[in-house]
């Protein structure tokens, strides 16, 4: 089956077509238009600018996704859009467009949780079996989840303050680096000394696999103020030391989560990392070492599927459609939509 997926929850306008046959997936097209330049001057995403930009671009992006795949709307088996969580204006643009297309063509409509898109991408690229342990690290979320099936997510841990991507963005901003900060901090850290500053490793050793970033971010700010004015070398060392502290925390938290997962569900079929921060090469390398030592395969998405994209939405839609699920056109957009909500509240989707 083939599904068109639309993603507009933040600052990427994206449409994609994926095919799902006998459980495995193929991306037929995945057009991603980043709005980064429109928001860069403000150091973050401006919601009103984002929704207007989605309105301007989305029809064209959908056309392009169809023509790159060499397919028409009539050849789709379903139309999916991210219905949240995210910036509500953008969500409305993508969701309404998908509903209109589904209504006009009579195709099934799928309201996809954006986080479920990140969570299931590993099955699009690598055909991973359930249950697996998911490290979801993005701009808005830092969570460890047991993924037991499509729509079956058990949260093992979460951040008690900032998300990891958000912390990278804030540290970049306070060090005068460009937006978005994650890739910048990683790039600058390559030239830095990760041992020069001994930043705290928040949460390390705690029995619950939760995260905390606020104190670490503050520690970077205090150190930066103490040694100001900053040379390029100082900035590189601060970035490298910050990134090292984050990775140490993540590794410790994943170790704890693997233990909890294993005691409840047996050995995970894979350790899956997803979300924008999954693009961080240093983190991927360390996670690979850890996964190897635990004898669990590490599945990390290809770089173009780490950040927000339509293919992950199309794929999550295809996974649900294959189970005979779809949604009504009355499905309302959701600014907040925890991944484990359906599990916590049976029937919450209705
Ligand atoms: P969510 O998925 O939680 O709704 P989002 O969609 O805004 O949030 P993503 O687009 O998945 O988040 O990820 C963007 C985040 O990833 C940003 O915070 C960005 O700084 C971070 N990021 C991207 N590349 C890297 C990198 N190489 N290292 C660290 N962080 C990165
Ligand atoms: Mg983005
Ligand atoms: Fe995302």
> For 247-282, what is each residue's pLDDT tens digit?
999 999 999 999 999 999 999 999 999 999 999 999
Beta strands of the chain (E only): which ranges?
A: 2-7, 12-21, 24-34, 78-84, 109-113, 132-137, 142-149, 152-158, 271-274, 298-299
- CA distances for 12 relative to 6, 7, 79, 230, 276, angstroms: 10, 7, 18, 33, 12
Mean pLDDT for 121-134 is: 97
User: Cβ of 125: how many Cβ atoms within 10 Å?
Assistant: 19
12 C-alpha vs ligand 3 centroid, how far in Å? Answer: 9
Encoded tokens for 299: 């599945």
Residue identifier of the C-alpha nearest atom 1 of ligand 1: 140
The confidence score (pLDDT) of residue 23 equals 85
Q: Above 90 in pLDDT, residue 347?
A: no
Q: Above 90 in pLDDT, residue 336?
A: yes
| Rounded Cα–Cα distance for residues 349 and 83 (Å) | 11
308 C-alpha vs ligand 3 centroid, how far in Å? Answer: 5
281 C-alpha vs ligand 1 centroid, how far in Å? Answer: 13
User: For residue 251, what are the contacts with CB-CB under 8 A and spacing of at least 6?
Assistant: 286, 287, 290
Give strand pairing partners of 298: 271
Q: 23 or 337, which is more confident?
A: 337
The confidence score (pLDDT) of residue 346 equals 46
Residue identifier of the C-alpha nearest atom 25 of ligand 1: 182
The confidence score (pLDDT) of residue 341 equals 76
Q: Which residues are annotated as a binding site for Fe cation?
A: 114, 118, 308
Q: Above 90 in pLDDT, residue 14?
A: yes
Same structural domain for residues 240 and 198? Answer: yes
What is the percent of the chain with per-residue pLDDT over 70, rounded to a whole number? 97
| Rounded Cα–Cα distance for residues 53 and 35 (Å) | 8
State the DSSP string of 206-249: -SS--B--HHHHHHHHHHHHHHPSPPHHHHHHHHHHHHHHHHHH
The confidence score (pLDDT) of residue 350 equals 45
- The response to whether residue 116 sits with its C-beta less than 6 Å from ligand 1 reads no
Q: Is 96 within a domain?
A: yes
Structural domain span for residue 285: 131-303
The confidence score (pLDDT) of residue 72 equals 98
Same structural domain for residues 118 and 136? Answer: no
| Under 8 Å between Cβ of 132 and 271 | yes
The ligand placed nearest to the CA atom of residue 278 is 1
Q: Which of 115, 165, 168, 300 best tests ligand 1's pocket when mutated (most atoms within 8 Å of CB)?
A: 165
Encoded tokens for 177: 């680096």
| DSSP 3-state of 201 | coil
Number of domains in the chain: 2
Residue identifier of the C-alpha nearest atom 29 of ligand 1: 182
Q: Above 60 in pLDDT, residue 344?
A: no
Of 252, 251, 213, 219, nearest to 238 by C-alpha is: 219
- CA distances for 166 relative to 68, 89, 289, 327, angstroms: 33, 21, 25, 32
| Rounded Cα–Cα distance for residues 278 and 300 (Å) | 7
Q: Give me the chain's average pLDDT, please.
A: 96
- The response to whether residue 180 sits with its C-beta less than 6 Å from ligand 1 reads yes
> For 31-76, what is each residue's pLDDT tens digit?
999 999 999 888 889 999 999 999 999 999 999 999 999 999 999 9
What band does 92 get if pLDDT is binned at 50, 70 and 90? very high
CATH number for position 253: 3.30.420.40
Distance, first Cα to last Cα, the chain: 24
> For 179-230, what is each residue's pLDDT tens digit?
889 999 999 999 999 999 999 999 999 999 999 999 999 999 999 999 999 9
The confidence score (pLDDT) of residue 44 equals 87
Same structural domain for residues 106 and 223? Answer: no
Same structural domain for residues 143 and 259? Answer: yes
- The response to whether residue 307 sits with its C-beta less than 6 Å from ligand 1 reads yes
Q: Is 349 within a domain?
A: no
Encoded tokens for 49: 């600018």
Same structural domain for residues 158 and 294? Answer: yes
Same structural domain for residues 40 and 155? Answer: no
Q: In what order do the strands lie in the sheet with 2-7?
A: 24-34, 12-21, 2-7, 78-84, 109-113
> For 293-332, what is each residue's pLDDT tens digit?
999 999 999 999 999 999 999 999 999 999 999 999 999 9
Same structural domain for residues 137 and 275? Answer: yes
| Rounded Cα–Cα distance for residues 192 and 110 (Å) | 46
Q: Which string of b and e fits 238-254 if b means at least 16 CB within 10 Å?
A: bbbbbbbbbbbbbbbbb
* Sign of the dihedral through C-alpha 5, 9, 10, 13: positive
Q: Which residues are annotated as a binding site?
A: 114, 118, 136-140, 169, 182, 186, 280, 308
266 C-alpha vs ligand 1 centroid, how far in Å? Answer: 30
Q: Is 43 within a domain?
A: yes
> For 228-241, what is each residue's pLDDT tens digit?
999 999 999 999 99
Encoded tokens for 334: 């959701």
**Interface ipTM:** 0.98
The confidence score (pLDDT) of residue 322 equals 97
| DSSP 3-state of 283 | helix
* Sign of the dihedral through C-alpha 284, 165, 309, 304: negative
Same structural domain for residues 10 and 107? Answer: yes
Same structural domain for residues 153 and 296? Answer: yes
- The response to whether residue 84 sits with its C-beta less than 6 Å from ligand 1 reads no
In angstroms, what is the C-alpha Rg of the chain? 20
Same structural domain for residues 113 and 143? Answer: no
Residue identifier of the C-alpha nearest atom 3 of ligand 1: 140
What band does 349 get if pLDDT is binned at 50, 70 and 90? low
């Amino acid at each position: 089956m083939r599904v068109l997926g639309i993603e507009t929850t933040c600052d990427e306008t994206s449409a994609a077509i994926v095919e799902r046959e006998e459980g495995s997936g193929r991306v037929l097209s995945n057009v991603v238009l980043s709005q980064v330049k429109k928001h860069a001057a403000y150091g973050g995403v401006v919601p009103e600018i984002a929704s207007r930009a989605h309105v301007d671009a989305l029809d064209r992006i959908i056309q392009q996704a169809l023509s790159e795949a060499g397919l028409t709307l009539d050849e789709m088996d379903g139309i999916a859009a991210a219905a949240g969580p995210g910036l509500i204006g953008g969500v409305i643009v993508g969701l309404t467009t998908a509903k209109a297309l589904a209504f006009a063509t009579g195709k099934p409509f799928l309201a996809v949780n954006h986080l479920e898109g990140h969570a299931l991408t590993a099955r699009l690229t690598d055909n991973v079996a359930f249950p697996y342990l998911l490290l979801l690290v993005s701009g808005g979320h830092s969570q460890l989840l047991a993924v037991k099936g499509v729509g079956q997510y058990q949260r093992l841990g979460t951040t008690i303050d900032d998300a990891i991507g958000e912390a990278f963005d804030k540290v970049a901003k306070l060090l005068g680096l460009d937006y978005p900060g994650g890739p910048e901090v990683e790039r600058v850290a390559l030239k830095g000394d990760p041992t020069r500053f001994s930043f705290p490793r928040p949460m390390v050793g705690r029995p619950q696999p939760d995260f905390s970033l606020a104190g670490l971010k503050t520690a970077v700010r205090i150190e930066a103020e103490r040694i100001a004015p900053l040379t390029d070398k100082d900035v590189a060392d601060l970035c490298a030391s910050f990134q090292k502290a984050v990775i140490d925390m993540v590794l410790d938290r994943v170790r704890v989560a693997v233990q909890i997962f294993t005691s409840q569900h047996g050995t995970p079929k894979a350790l899956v990392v997803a979300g924008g921060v999954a693009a961080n090469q240093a983190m991927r390398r360390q996670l690979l070492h850890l996964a190897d030592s635990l004898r669990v395969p590490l599945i990390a998405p290809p770089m173009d599927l780490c950040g927000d994209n339509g293919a992950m939405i199309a794929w999550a839609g295809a996974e649900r459609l294959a189970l005979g699920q779809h949604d009504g056109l009355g499905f309302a957009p959701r600014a907040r939509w925890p991944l484990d909500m359906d599990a916590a509240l049976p029937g919450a989707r209705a």
